[in-house]
């Protein structure tokens, strides 16, 4: 089974520029997550989709960050304009809607997209 795919793996941009990250979740997974992980800290949830609807975006800085999942599969996360403090790893993850205890609910992560804002 293929895992969560993310691109680009690394990106360096200047402050005030824009950047977009792409994610392809595990096939059949209805729920998709974007996390931000600053060096030395645990991942922080930015936004959670169920199919193509937003479940939780309470920690997404909406003045500069946006995310979409138009067809309920792939997703993009955009930052515009970027600030120095946006330097972090952006992790995409997905999970299924399994109803049993041993099925679904487990979140699977991609390798992350490393962003450096200079």
Partner 1 sequence: DAKTTQPPSMDCAEGRAANLPCNHSTISGNEYVYWYRQIHSQGPQYIIHGLKNNETNEMASLIITEDRKSSTLILPHATLRDTAVYYCIVRKKGNAGKSTFGDGTTLTVKP
Give residues in contact with partner 1 (CB under 8 A). Answer: 4, 30-31, 33, 35, 40-45, 48, 50, 55-56, 91, 93, 95, 97, 99, 101, 104-112
Structure token digits, residue 68: 């979409």
Say if residue 8 is preceded by a cis peptide, omega within 30 of 0. yes
Rg (CA), the chain: 14
Structure token digits, residue 30: 């209805």
Task: Considering the complex, state which of residue 45 and residue 81 has its C-beta at the smaller distance from partner 1.
Answer: 45
CB of 87 to partner 1, least distance (A): 15
CB of 51 to partner 1, least distance (A): 11
Task: Considering the complex, state which of residue 21 and residue 33 has its C-beta at the smaller distance from partner 1.
Answer: 33
CB of 42 to partner 1, least distance (A): 3
Q: State the CB neighbour count (10 A cutoff) for residue 103.
A: 10
CB of 74 to partner 1, least distance (A): 17
Structure token digits, residue 99: 């109803």
Q: Which of 94, 68, 83, 75 is nearest to 7 (CA)?
A: 75
Task: Considering the complex, state which of residue 16 and residue 44 has its C-beta at the smaller distance from partner 1.
Answer: 44
């Amino acid at each position: 089974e293929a895992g969560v795919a993310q691109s680009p793996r690394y990106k360096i941009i200047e402050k005030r520029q824009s950047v977009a990250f792409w994610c392809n979740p595990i096939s059949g997974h209805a729920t998709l997550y974007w996390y931000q992980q600053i060096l030395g800290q645990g991942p922080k949830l930015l936004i959670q989709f169920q199919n193509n609807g937003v479940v939780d975006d309470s920690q997404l800085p909406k003045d500069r960050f946006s995310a979409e999942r138009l067809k309920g599969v792939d997703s993009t996360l955009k930052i515009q304009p970027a600030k120095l403090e946006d330097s972090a790893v952006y992790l995409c993850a997905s999970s299924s809607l399994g109803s049993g205890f041993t099925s679904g609910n487990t979140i699977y992560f991609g390798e992350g997209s490393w962003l450096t804002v200079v």
